[in-house]
Chain A
């Protein structure tokens, strides 16, 4: 006989969990009592959102499911943003939550929240465990569901009394659910149809998304592209799925995509999407997306197909197995005319910035990160301008080397995700690129990196603004800068503080030091690379604050609602 708590911890071990992120509380005391004796490395976070992002970062970096544990009520509601982040991006995370004792559920008990109700729409699946005998099966199912099909977060809510009840139940083998049968093998007829379309196409383009990375299909995708000479554009979450350094790489498509990628999509006669879900930030105006193209869509999620764009050749299944079956049916080609046209776009309009600008530009700093690391690093980001620049000015050549909240766009993701990534990949350089807005949303988690001796480097691009919002206000709201100034000196009258503000508020260097990390402030361009080298050599968590030009914009940009062919290169 084992207690429910013991069952749970044993089931985590059986699922291969070696790293667990979380924070205790009243309803998970029994689980934490068992945890104290479990062969797991436990990371004590300082806010439950940090736990979910760390589990998420761990999963994105390693390909293995991330796991976290939180208490009931506020513990679970704090975890909500992290679960929603993982859900949007299809990341395998299992979250164990405590719940008030069964007989108190619905009584407005202390630290009670309807966790399964709240998380229903932002998880792939969730459970409220009512019977201790079900626990071993449910935990096994949770990992199976989280990691198969389109991966996603699964939450298991376990009332305190269930954790304390005894059971002799065990579970082994593969969990089966009659309502859950993800399709892995692609339909051979559809694959043959796709092969014929590729062989007949004169101007094909591959749109590679996160599905390529999730399926481990980078090698097959690269072989296909090189054999059939198909240019590849990689979505934000697909970065690293095809090497940015390859001549066929068009880089990122969409709102802040490259001219080459958006022109290729607008002019191609065949668009082959592999594991990309045609997010609105990728497509621009849907009715004018790839107007001349036959659209083929490989996706493991049937509901992703034809969700936002018309699809002519759908292939439901796992990207790797489908590409493997497709490859022998593809003829080698040269496609001279098409590639000449594509290379023209690549050459004429690469991602660029004003190299003569005397102040530090985030673009420059990110390019320095690429130079100093020689591209060998896991980059995590927060959300905003720095995120787009991190996609533009670092070249990703390996899958799982770019980690970012794409779908939900969660500020505060980057630092805890970097900690999770480093926890799973100790031999890799892990660098979190952030902004002065985003970093303040989960700064407290830096302590966890210090405690566990995880030498991550956090680079804050401090421009004194919520930069992306400022950019939209500049471009689309007649420069009415409302509530976007973080630098006190830039504030409008109705946002001003009474007293003269200090120079740095907050002082990120002092914050880093207060959290036990090293802090470096960089105000000159020539200091950037030396600071990065120094930080990487310190072998401890370091925060570098780059004071950057306050009002720079991300270009190119497709204005909201416009088609991809209507890119703006700069403010006229």
Chain B
């Protein structure tokens, strides 16, 4: 049992059987304990019978340790890792629709360029930018485009992988 009871965001990744019911079992286990899942991503792995779930859950270390143990206990959960304890890569993909007039368009394009974003749609009054990157990188970009008025955002949820 860890003595560290500080609340922080945990990135948990689980390999699970690619079967119906698994997602709700995993999510239910976490939400049933009163924890909010900030982001969730699910998709098949190189083995089509196995899916990877990546979740971000804020909580104290001790409770999250218990949550990962409980997840591991589930019959259809193959393995669980709390990546927060080790070096890992995280990426998020977002689509953000920004209000853009003829006047502000070039400024937004410039910003997107600096952040490695891609303009995927331009309309008379708005444009959609696709941005892929580390969670912090994406958050920084969102902060900078805020003054232009964000009309809509769709996020993939964080995906993650251990570095080694």
Contacts and interface: CB of A to CB of B under 8 A. Distances in A.
B17 A307 contact: no
A124 B75 contact: yes
Interface string A173-195: 00001111000000000000000
Contact of A302 (B73, B76, B77): B73
Interface stretch (B24-32, B118-126, B154-162): B24-32
Interface string A476-505: 000000000000000000000000000000
Interface stretch (A114-122, A159-167, A206-214): A114-122
Interface string B131-158: 0000000000000000000000000000
Most chain B beta-carbon neighbours within 10 Å: one of A125, A177, A303, A310: A303
Contacts of B70: 303
B21 A120 contact: yes
Interface string A303-340: 10011001100000000000000000000000000000
B28 A120 contact: yes
Contacts of A124: 75
Contact of B73 (A121, A177, A178, A301): A301
A179 B17 contact: yes
B72 interface: yes
Nearest to A302: B69
B64 interface: no
Contacts of A178: 17, 78
Contact of B75 (A180, A303, A306): A180
A505 B39 CA distance: 56
B71 to A, nearest CB: 9
B74 A179 contact: yes
A303 B69 contact: yes
A126 B24 CA distance: 12
Which range holds the interface residue count of chain B?
A: 20 to 34
Interface in B71-127: 72-79
A128 interface: yes
Binding site secondary structure of chain B: mixed
A306 B32 contact: no
Nearest to A303: B69
Interface string B16-51: 110011001100110010000000000000000000
Contacts of A177: 75-76
Contacts of A310: 1
A303 B73 contact: yes
Interface string A106-142: 0000000000110011001110100000000000000
Nearest to A126: B21
Contacts of B21: 116, 120, 126, 128
A177 B49 CA distance: 12
A125 B77 CA distance: 11
Nearest to A309: B1
Contacts of B17: 178-179
B45 to A, nearest CB: 13
A260 interface: no
A12 interface: no
Nearest to B21: A116
Contacts of B77: 179
13 contacts: A120-B21, A120-B24, A120-B25, A121-B28, A121-B29, A125-B74, A178-B78, A179-B75, A179-B76, A180-B75, A303-B69, A303-B72, A307-B66
Given A117-B24, A178-B17, A179-B74, 18 more contacts: A116-B21, A120-B24, A120-B25, A121-B29, A121-B32, A128-B20, A128-B21, A145-B75, A177-B76, A178-B78, A179-B16, A179-B75, A179-B76, A179-B77, A179-B79, A307-B66, A307-B69, A311-B1
